[in-house]
């Protein structure tokens, strides 16, 4: 085990058998040949030599040049990698950390490198991402998300287990990368003073190299003393050494649309088939889209249309690529298929630099990206589709020219391209800073405003975040971290969610009734909220859940057929799939809303024997893969609570509702218990995420930008279980129109609701919504 995470094996990751491990060695021999063809291969001596003389370094090279997979293997046997003793007698080093902004990247890289080295995953080469640790004390190359690295700094401020930290994809400038870099600067210095140096390598595809090199600075490795000063121009800051791996780029022909485009999906489909008809195979098409839903929609459309192609045209194979995709699914893009088949890979900007898709000769770029934005108006963060930068557009286009001359179709006009921002704004400049500032405070940074940020957010954002942390009781009025704040920072969750756990743990103090443990329930709900995606499948996805089940239910065909049949026979005893699922779901809905409905679902799911869980999921159209993840997260969150002694959890064996009889006894959460749970959530989301009913049955947020002036109109999202009752009688067309109509339907949800999230489509929709009582606000915050 290790001290920062709980070493639990993800039940979804298969453990290789001995026979498999053997064939892995053969695989690794073949992979050795591939390694030698990578552009970085001939630079390994140079890289080793630079980093042996210096503690810091910047490494730039095109996507696919081999940085992420090779750097660890190049440095593994270096003398400075060995575990050694610092001046204080403490042991340091032995492992190399490679950070990634995305968990999928960390997982897939660890898998790739362990097969290159012919070792089982989780031993020499491993990974550690939020809620999933596949590494042990013998691990030498450890891929981790930059968030996990921050978590490790909390438990081990000197990062003593590492000899080197490699910050990969630094150009993405995720908020955690930026914080990590700032903290690492300090750690490099501290470790140098302890005579146990830590190496810091910053890697990137496109980067303002000099700015980064100046930022991380020079730190010569301890060598026999010379009087030589570092070689730098006198009026500039000293730069860390830079190594550039030249990339090969073939010419790319670029096309723009003559007119601005509104319907990107249709435009993308047209472009895909135009390219397919115009250019011979091989030569895959990479389409940049915005998010998983858009990708699924587009992919399905292309798949259907490709079935109607003339027989003499090459076949089309559609592939999806986005961050929440299953790693095994993602792995498929690396396999070059049949050269007579055209692959169409539809991806988010994950394919911009993070994942190298081989075989691409044509790029179709929608010119948009989904980013987290802080809505000052609402005081919350949400995902918004925004224009990409010119740097991004250039990078996307570049994906077409790696293996030969290519083409790039930009679904925007040339003049709008000219108006894109030059560079992508770092996340820290437009995000909610509360998580970041709590992270820094908990790591001993007192004056957060003076922290050496690579780019510093404006003062207003700092003030706003400090206010939020103060409202959450994480920081006191002097900006010092409180006991609550310290507890909150132990959890790999946003402050709004970790506050809920701490609130629930306080609730549990002295609670003798183990059957009604609020902390247990709160963790269950949070686990459901922490998976990427909704555990409750939406009607358009209902066929998905039936995959792998014995008797698949096709949601569309039978629906149509049955409808027709029902109309003909004038019989109403045959239910459509939608109706069946709906009536099933009405059994588990909790009247208060989504939070407790999730709890109801998880309880039922857990009470089933494992061989019945899949069927349960199908009956209720709950995502089975996500439920497996929920279970895992739940176990990990309980682990964090025990590790850091937050609250009192009964032993697993004493846990309620993990048997059929218990569920039978507690079919629904009692109202009293429900109120307690919801109050904990309210403590987290705060007054900022409460909307009260106003005239006309609409909901309006209580506050706008921190003061209680006029709020903002918000509607309940159609995916909320509060909308289910309105589906009775079930007309699928009506369900689809729901988004447009939901103002009218919001009537009667009670005097106020709280929500976890807001999405902006045609207007602001609240997601994960529960009814609350306004008087609770007074119980929780005296000032309201």
Residues near ligand ADP (CB under 6 A) are 38, 61, 63-70, 108-109, 111-112, 331, 334, 356, 358
Q: Please say whether the dihedral angle defined by the alpha carbons of residues 36, 39, 43 and 47, taken in this order, is positive or negative.
A: negative
Choose between 399 and 634: whose C-beta lies nearer to ligand ADP.
Answer: 399
Minimum distance between the CB of residue 66 and ligand ADP, rounded to whole angstroms? Answer: 4
**Structure token pair of residue 290:** 């915005």
Minimum distance between the CB of residue 178 and ligand ADP, rounded to whole angstroms? Answer: 20
Which helix (H) or strand (E) segment holds residue 714: the answer is strand 713-716
Minimum distance between the CB of residue 207 and ligand ADP, rounded to whole angstroms? Answer: 12
Choose between 64 and 555: whose C-beta lies nearer to ligand ADP.
Answer: 64
Query: Please, which residues bridge with residue 200 across strands?
Result: 56, 165
Choose between 112 and 185: whose C-beta lies nearer to ligand ADP.
Answer: 112
Choose between 111 and 151: whose C-beta lies nearer to ligand ADP.
Answer: 111
Choose between 56 and 69: whose C-beta lies nearer to ligand ADP.
Answer: 69
Minimum distance between the CB of residue 71 and ligand ADP, rounded to whole angstroms? Answer: 8
Minimum distance between the CB of residue 52 and ligand ADP, rounded to whole angstroms? Answer: 22
Minimum distance between the CB of residue 382 and ligand ADP, rounded to whole angstroms? Answer: 30
Taking the C-alpha atoms of residue 584 and residue 561, their distance in angstroms, rounded to an integer, is 21
Minimum distance between the CB of residue 209 and ligand ADP, rounded to whole angstroms? Answer: 15
Taking the C-alpha atoms of residue 578 and residue 216, their distance in angstroms, rounded to an integer, is 57
Report the candidate in 94, 55, 95, 87 with the shortest Cα–Cα distance to residue 184: 55
Choose between 250 and 334: whose C-beta lies nearer to ligand ADP.
Answer: 334
Choose between 61 and 367: whose C-beta lies nearer to ligand ADP.
Answer: 61
Residue with tokens 């930068």: 389
Choose between 204 and 424: whose C-beta lies nearer to ligand ADP.
Answer: 204
Choose between 64 and 647: whose C-beta lies nearer to ligand ADP.
Answer: 64
Minimum distance between the CB of residue 157 and ligand ADP, rounded to whole angstroms? Answer: 29
Choose between 121 and 596: whose C-beta lies nearer to ligand ADP.
Answer: 121
Residues 6 or more apart whose CB falls under 8 angstroms from that of 231 comprise: none
DSSP string, 670-686: -HHHHHHHHHHHHHHH-
Please report, to the nearest 10 degrees, the dihedral formed by the alpha carbons of residues 441, 465, 469, 483 taken in order: 0
Contact 594, 723 (CB under 8 A): no
Minimum distance between the CB of residue 68 and ligand ADP, rounded to whole angstroms? Answer: 3
Three-state secondary structure string covering 592-610: CEHHHHHHHHHHHHHHCCH
Dmax (CA) of the chain: 97
Whole-angstrom CA distances from 81 to 59, 163, 196, 765 are: 19, 5, 11, 52
Residue 721 DSSP class: G
Contact 754, 685 (CB under 8 A): yes
Residue 141 DSSP class: E
Q: Is 537 exposed, middle or buried (0-12, 13-18, 19+ CB in 10 A)?
A: buried
Residue 370 DSSP class: E
**Structure token pair of residue 599:** 């709890």
Contact 379, 706 (CB under 8 A): yes
**Structure token pair of residue 467:** 């206010």
Choose between 168 and 738: whose C-beta lies nearer to ligand ADP.
Answer: 168
Contact 277, 364 (CB under 8 A): no
Three-state DSSP class for residue 300: helix
Choose between 173 and 191: whose C-beta lies nearer to ligand ADP.
Answer: 173
Choose between 112 and 590: whose C-beta lies nearer to ligand ADP.
Answer: 112
Choose between 41 and 724: whose C-beta lies nearer to ligand ADP.
Answer: 41
Minimum distance between the CB of residue 44 and ligand ADP, rounded to whole angstroms? Answer: 13
Minimum distance between the CB of residue 141 and ligand ADP, rounded to whole angstroms? Answer: 12
Three-state DSSP class for residue 766: strand
State the angle between helix axes of 577-588 and 594-607 in degrees (0 to 180), rounded to the nearest 10: 100
Minimum distance between the CB of residue 65 and ligand ADP, rounded to whole angstroms? Answer: 4
Minimum distance between the CB of residue 55 and ligand ADP, rounded to whole angstroms? Answer: 22
Query: Please, which residues bridge with residue 360 across strands?
Result: 284
Minimum distance between the CB of residue 72 and ligand ADP, rounded to whole angstroms? Answer: 10
Distance from the first to the final alpha carbon of the chain: 46
Tally of CB atoms within 10 A around 475? 24
Query: Please, which residues bridge with residue 220 across strands?
Result: 54
Contact 727, 776 (CB under 8 A): no
Choose between 334 and 781: whose C-beta lies nearer to ligand ADP.
Answer: 334
Range list of β-strands (E), 376-496:
380-387, 406-410
Contact 770, 743 (CB under 8 A): no
- Find the length of the chain: 784
Choose between 66 and 485: whose C-beta lies nearer to ligand ADP.
Answer: 66
Contact 753, 765 (CB under 8 A): no
Minimum distance between the CB of residue 333 and ligand ADP, rounded to whole angstroms? Answer: 9
Minimum distance between the CB of residue 100 and ligand ADP, rounded to whole angstroms? Answer: 10
Minimum distance between the CB of residue 717 and ligand ADP, rounded to whole angstroms? Answer: 35
Question: Rounded to 5 degrees, what are φ and ψ at 703?
Answer: -125, 155
Taking the C-alpha atoms of residue 96 and residue 449, their distance in angstroms, rounded to an integer, is 31
Choose between 180 and 197: whose C-beta lies nearer to ligand ADP.
Answer: 180
Taking the C-alpha atoms of residue 322 and residue 773, their distance in angstroms, rounded to an integer, is 39
């Amino acid at each position: 085990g290790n001290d920062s995470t709980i070493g639990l094996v993800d039940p979804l990751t298969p453990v290789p058998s001995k026979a498999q491990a053997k064939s892995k060695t053969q695989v690794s021999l073949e992979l050795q040949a591939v390694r030698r063809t990578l552009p970085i291969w001939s630079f390994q001596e140079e890289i080793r030599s630079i980093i042996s003389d210096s503690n810091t370094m910047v490494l730039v090279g095109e996507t696919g040049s081999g940085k992420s997979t090779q750097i660890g293997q190049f440095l593994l046997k270096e003398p400075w990698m060995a575990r050694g003793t610092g001046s204080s007698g403490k042991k340091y080093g032995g492992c190399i950390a490679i950070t990634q902004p995305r968990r999928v990247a960390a997982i897939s890289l660890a898998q790739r490198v362990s097969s290159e080295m012919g070792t089982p995953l989780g031993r020499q080469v491993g990974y550690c991402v939020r809620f999933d640790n596949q590494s042990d004390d013998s691990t030498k190359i450890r891929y981790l998300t930059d968030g996990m690295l921050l978590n490790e700094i909390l438990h081990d401020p000197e990062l003593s287990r590492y000899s080197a930290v490699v910050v990969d994809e630094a150009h993405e400038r995720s908020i955690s990368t930026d914080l990590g870099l700032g903290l690492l600067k300090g750690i490099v210095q501290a470790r140098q003073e302890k005579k146990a140096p830590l190496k810091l390598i910053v890697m990137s595809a496109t980067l303002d190299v000099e700015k980064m090199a100046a930022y991380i600075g020079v730190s010569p490795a301890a060598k026999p003393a010379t009087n030589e000063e570092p070689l730098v121009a006198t009026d500039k800051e000293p730069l860390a050494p830079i190594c550039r791996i030249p990339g090969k780029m073939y010419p790319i022909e670029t096309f723009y649309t003559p007119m601005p485009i509104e319907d990107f999906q249709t435009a993308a489909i047209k472009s895909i088939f135009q390219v397919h008809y115009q250019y011979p195979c091989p030569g895959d098409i990479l389409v940049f889209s915005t998010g998983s839903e858009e990708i699924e929609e587009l992919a399905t459309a292309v798949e259907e249309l490709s079935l109607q192609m003339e027989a003499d045209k090459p076949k089309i194979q559609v592939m999806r690529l986005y961050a929440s995709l299953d790693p095994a699914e993602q792995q498929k893009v690396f396999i070059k298929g049949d050269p007579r088949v055209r692959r169409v890979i539809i991806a988010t900007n994950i394919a911009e630099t993070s994942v190298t898709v081989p075989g691409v000769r044509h790029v179709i770029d929608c010119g948009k990206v989904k980013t987290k934005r802080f809505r000052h108006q609402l005081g919350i963060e949400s995902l918004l589709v925004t224009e990409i930068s010119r740097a991004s557009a250039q990078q996307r286009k570049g994906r077409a020219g790696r293996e030969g001359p290519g083409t790039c179709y930009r679904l925007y006009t040339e003049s709008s391209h000219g108006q894109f921002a030059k560079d992508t704004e770092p996340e820290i400049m437009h995000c909610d800073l509360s998580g970041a500032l709590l992270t820094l405070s908990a790591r001993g940074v007192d004056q957060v405003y003076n922290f050496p940020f690579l780019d510093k957010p404006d003062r207003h954002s700092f003030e706003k975040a400090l206010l939020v942390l103060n409202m959450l009781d994480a920081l006191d009025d002097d900006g010092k971290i409180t006991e609550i704040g310290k507890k909150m920072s132990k959890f790999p969750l946003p402050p709004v969610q970790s506050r809920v756990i701490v609130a629930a743990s306080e609730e549990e103090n002295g609670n003798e009734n183990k059957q009604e443990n609020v902390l247990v329930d709160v963790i269950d709900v949070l686990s459901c909220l922490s998976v990427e995606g909704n555990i409750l499948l939406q009607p358009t996805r209902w066929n998905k859940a039936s995959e792998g089940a014995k008797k698949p239910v096709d949601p569309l065909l039978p629906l149509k057929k049955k409808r027709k049949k029902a109309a003909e026979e004038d019989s109403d005893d045959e239910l459509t799939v939608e109706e069946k699922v709906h009536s099933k779901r009405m059994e588990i809905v909790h009247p208060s809303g989504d939070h407790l409905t999730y709890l109801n679902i998880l309880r039922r799911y857990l009470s089933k024997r494992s061989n019945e869980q899949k069927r349960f999921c199908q009956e209720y159209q709950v995502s089975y893969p996500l439920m497996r993840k929920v279970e895992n997260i739940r176990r990990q969150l309980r682990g964090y609570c025990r590790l850091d002694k937050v609250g009192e959890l009964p032993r697993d064996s004493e846990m309620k509702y993990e048997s059929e009889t218990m569920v039978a006894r507690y079919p629904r959460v009692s109202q009293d218990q429900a109120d307690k749970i919801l109050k904990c959530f309210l403590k987290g989301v705060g007054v900022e995420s409460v909307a009260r009913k106003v005239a006309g049955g609409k909901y309006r947020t209580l506050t706008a930008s921190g003061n209680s002036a006029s709020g903002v109109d918000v509607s309940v999202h159609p995916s909320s279980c509060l909308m289910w009752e309105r589906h009775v009688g079930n007309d699928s067309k009506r369900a689809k129109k729901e988004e447009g109509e939901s103002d009218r339907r919001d009537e009667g949800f009670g005097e106020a609701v709280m929500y976890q999230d807001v999405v902006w489509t045609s207007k602001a929709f609240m997601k994960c919504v529960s009814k609350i009582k306004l008087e609770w606000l007074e119980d929780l915050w005296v000032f309201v």
